[in-house]
Amino acid sequence: MDEEPAIYWLVSADYEGNRREFEYIASDMQAIFGNNAKTTKRLDPGQIEVFGANTDAKPMLVVKSKSANDPSKLRMEAPRGIIVCEGAGLDLESFERVIGRAAPKDAWVFISGTLEGSLGWYPQVAEAWKHEEGCASFRLPSYTNVYLYEGGINDPKIQRLKRLSSDTFFMERIEGRAVPPKGLVFPEFNANYHVKNISYVRGEPVYLWIDPGYAGAYAVEVAQEINGQIWIIDEIYERFITDDIIGIAVNKPWWSDVRGGAIDISGTYHQAMPAPAEVWQSKAQVYLRSQKIPINQGTERLKSFLKFDPLRNWTSIVIAPHCQGVLSEMGVALNPHTEQLQAYRWRLDRNDNIIGQEPEDRFNHGIKAIIYGLVDRYGYVTSQHRQRVQMRSWGGIATRRNPRTGR
């Protein structure tokens, strides 16, 4: 019986993104193997096959072009090696899928690309792989290509670019360095720690944490507590009204385990239509608690869950990679509606100094939904100006007395 061919992938955000690599490999294979290397005319998808002496047998090597826009194509087989072209163009979920497909045959993964924008999962992975066992990360400044820049860093063309371009552009596009992003509300969020391949655990209580935003997104973050860790297993992130959101939710596999949740205080207000909290109660029989949460105190509560615990080697909250809405707000994915990097940020002046005491109130619907749930469940990090501190549990409410006053 013929052995199965060695399969390798070229992956990019779309088929056009790996055209050059595909053509280079096809040219090299034809130069080495002559007529025993066959290449398809199409790239979407494309395939390069290399045969042994018997061209009627199965090929001994196959290179396939893959598009991250067609997720089903990234699940069909386990390759021996994967080249990711322009890594920054892939979303986080596609990257996780690539890593998953590499596992069965312990395949190698090579990722190339510039650090444009210095936001998203790619710069974080590039930094992490410098220290991860079995991984490596290399920086190749443009001027190391002496074919284009004979003088290296002192080449006149490089020096002219340095004079005419901004420091950020030169560092990212020429030096190949990640420039720390400015103004993120949650700069500690790291895809290597906070994004995990988690999924719904049947039979465990499910809680819906909701921000019924209208202009940006109506965000429903779906939470479970598993072994003391908060899992955001799913989300609904749409520009729909409450009735439509409920219609999506009731068809989810986790719906039968929903036990309640939390919603923005504005979700209890009547405007031109019934309050969202009332609609959830009347049409879905889901009771949602609410309270007014100061922005900065809510932010601190979420930050406390993002801290890395070296003793347990985990963070207190993790998010599934397909939750693109909230991940885009954290700055590690593209906004699912606009396909742009739109993260939750502070206002900055032209010198990158923070303006004001509160962040810009946009690109934060999923984040706010999680904050409502965490505060509802755990209260604030510190409780000031309170004689009685309210502590909530999943099933009810408990209170404890203030140790200073005994009340």
Mean pLDDT along residues 178-194? 83
Sign of CA dihedral 70, 341, 329, 99: positive
Res 271: pLDDT: 73
In this structure, of 75-84, 188-197, 354-363, 381-390, the range with the lowest mean pLDDT score is: 381-390
61-67 and 6-12 strand pairing: parallel
**Considering the chain, what is the average pLDDT of its residues?**
87
Question: What is the chain's length?
Answer: 407
The whole-angstrom separation of Cα 319 and Cα 366 is 11
Burial of 241 (0-12, 13-18, 19+ CB in 10 A): middle
The pLDDT of residue 116: 66
Confidence band, pLDDT 50/70/90 cuts, at residue 119: low
How confident is the model over 44-72, as a mean pLDDT? 86
Q: String of b and e for 9-24 (b: at least 16 CB within 10 Å)?
A: bbbbbebebbbebbee
Sequence-separated (6 or more) residues with CB below 8 Å from residue 77: 7, 101
Give residue 190's pLDDT: 86
What's the 3-state SS for the chain? CCCCCEEEEEEECCHHHHHHHHHHHHHHHHHHHHHHEEECCCCCCCEEEECCCCCCCCCCEEEEEEECCCHHHHCCCCCCEEEECCHHHCCHHHHHHHHHHHCCCCCEEEECCCCHHHCCHHHHHHHHCCCCCCCCCCCCCHHHCCCCCCCHHHCHHHHHHHHHCCHHHHHHHHCCCCCCCCCECCCCCCHHHHECCCCCCCCCCEEEEEEECCCCCEEEEEEEEECCEEEEEEEEEECCCHHHHHHHHCCCCCHHHEEEEEECHHHHCCCCCCCHHHHHHHHHCCCEECCCCCHHHHHHHHHHHHCEECCCCEECEEECCCCHHHHHHHCCCCCCCCCCCCCCECEECCCCCEECCCCCCCCCHHHHHHHHHHHHHHCCCCCCCCCEEEEECCCCEEEEECCCCCC
> Which tokens go with 218?
């109506």
How sure is the predictor about 404, in pLDDT bands with cuts at 50, 70 and 90? very low
Residue 201 has pLDDT above 60, yes or no: yes
Q: At residue 46, what are phi and psi to the nearest 5 degrees?
A: -115, 165
How crowded is residue 55: how many other Cβ atoms within 10 Å of its Cβ? 11
pLDDT over threshold 70, residue 11: yes
Q: Give the pLDDT confidence score for residue 291 in this predicted structure.
A: 96
Other Cβ atoms within 10 Å of 146 Cβ, number? 10
Burial of 294 (0-12, 13-18, 19+ CB in 10 A): exposed
CA distances from 300 to 93, 364, 368 (A): 27, 15, 12
Whole-number Å distance between alpha carbons of 124 and 333 = 12
**Mean pLDDT of all residues in 276-295:** 96
Q: What is the mean pLDDT of residues 8-24?
A: 93
Token pair belonging to 184: 């993120």
CB 89 within 8 Å of CB 115: no
Domains and CATH numbers, the chain: 6-174 (3.40.50.300), 192-401 (3.30.420.280)
pLDDT digits (tens, 9 = 90+) for 142-164: 999 999 999 999 999 999 998 98
Query: Which residue in the block uniquely carries the two structure tokens 């879905």?
Result: 284
Identify the weakest region by mean pLDDT among 140-144, 158-162, 362-366, 402-406. 402-406
| Tens digit of each residue's pLDDT (9 = 90 or more) over 213-241 | 877 899 999 999 999 999 999 999 999 99
Distances (CA, A) of 30 to 41, 220, 269, 332: 14, 52, 68, 40
Q: What percent of the chain has pLDDT over 90?
A: 58
For the chain, what is the largest distance between any 2 Cα atoms, rounded to a whole number of angstroms?
89
d(CA 11, CA 98): 9
Higher pLDDT, 315 or 97: 315
Q: What is the pLDDT of residues 18-44, one digit of tens each?
A: 999 999 999 999 999 999 999 999 998
Percent of the chain with pLDDT over 70: 90
Of the candidates 373, 11, 29, 364, the one whose C-alpha atom is nearest the C-alpha of residue 183 is 364
User: Among 135-139, 148-152, 268-272, 282-286, where is mean pLDDT lowest?
Assistant: 268-272
Highest average pLDDT, of 31-45, 183-197, 277-291, 346-360, comes from 277-291
pLDDT single digits (tens) 297-339 = 999 999 999 999 988 889 999 999 999 999 999 988 878 888 7
